[in-house]
Amino acid sequence: GAGVSQSPSNKVTEKGKDVELRCDPISGHTALYWYRQSLGQGLEFLIYFQGNSAPDKSGLPSDRFSAERTGGSVSTLTIQRTQQEDSAVYLCASSTSQGAGFFGQGTRLTVV
Amino acid sequence: AQKITQTQPGMFVQEKEAVTLDCTYDTSDPSYGLFWYKQPSSGEMIFLIYQGSYDQQNATEGRYSLNFQKARKSANLVISASQLGDSAMYFCAMRPYNTGGFKTIFGAGTRLFVKA
């Protein structure tokens, strides 16, 4: 597609449930990032994929968070046993190896 | 360690005037990229401008220019002739090309308010 696509755009889930967030990057972009942004705050780095290299998971806040990138393209961020503090906007970005990241519209996650 | 610092949580500017948003960074990597993004209230992240560490000239994109002072490790964004639509959050970011896992890191952001 022309841009980074994220789905769903909004997700409301009950505490304790698992959620999956999807990111479809720009075709040909080798790098893919997940960030989290709480209301009025900056971007919190979660995980980074670059080509076939092992992902940089250093930003994942707990073992309830995981992500995969299949075939070097689509990525899924999974949050298990969601907690209220997981409520945030989850942003995905993709880029070439050295270029600027282009962001999707984000998924607004609300845990009730 | 890689770090981005934006010291201005909020800035006000009069419409049609220029404004400078500060950004300093820290990296030991000699090769890196610097980026600025705009995030309006709609939430989308809009890429504005890029500066490479080896670029000899300051980057410009329309009303945006980047005041790159390599020795000081600063990459300030200058917006000329401010418009009401420039009111938004602005993030500075850096991506090292040889170290730090090559991932892009962001500053905390500066919220710009343009007054009519």
Query: Is residue A59 helix, strand or coil?
Result: coil
Cβ neighbours of residue A41 under 8 Å, at least 6 residues apart? B108
* Chain A residues 34-73 with CB within 8 Å of chain B: 35, 41-43, 45, 48, 50, 56, 58
Mean pLDDT of A74-80: 97
Phi, psi of A84, rounded to the nearest 5 degrees: -65, -30
Mean residue pLDDT of chain A comes to 93
DSSP string, A51-65: TTSPPB-TT--STTE
Tell me: the pLDDT tens digits for A80-107?
A: 999 999 999 999 999 988 888 899 999 9
Is B113 an interface residue toward A (CB < 8 Å)?
Answer: no
Closest residue in chain B to residue A51, using alpha carbons only: B102
Tell me: the pLDDT tens digits for B61-110?
A: 999 999 999 999 999 999 999 999 999 999 999 998 887 667 888 999 99
What pLDDT does A47 receive?
94
Beta strands per DSSP E along A38-106: 44-50, 65-69, 75-79, 88-95, 102-103
Residue A46 Cα distances to A17, A33, A56, B85, B104, angstroms: 20, 8, 9, 30, 11
Q: Which residue carries 């409301």 as its tokens?
A: A12
What pLDDT does A1 receive?
54
Bridge partners (DSSP) listed for residue A10: A108
Q: Using alpha carbons, select from B24, B27, B49, B6 the residue that is nearest to residue B102.
A: B27
What pLDDT does B100 receive?
61
What is the Cα–Cα distance from B113 to B116, expressed in whole angstroms?
A: 10
Q: Are B47 and B104 in contact (CB under 8 A)?
A: no
> A93 to chain B nearest CA, in Å?
9
Tell me: the pLDDT tens digits for B3-36?
A: 999 999 999 999 999 999 999 999 999 999 999 9
What pLDDT does B52 receive?
95
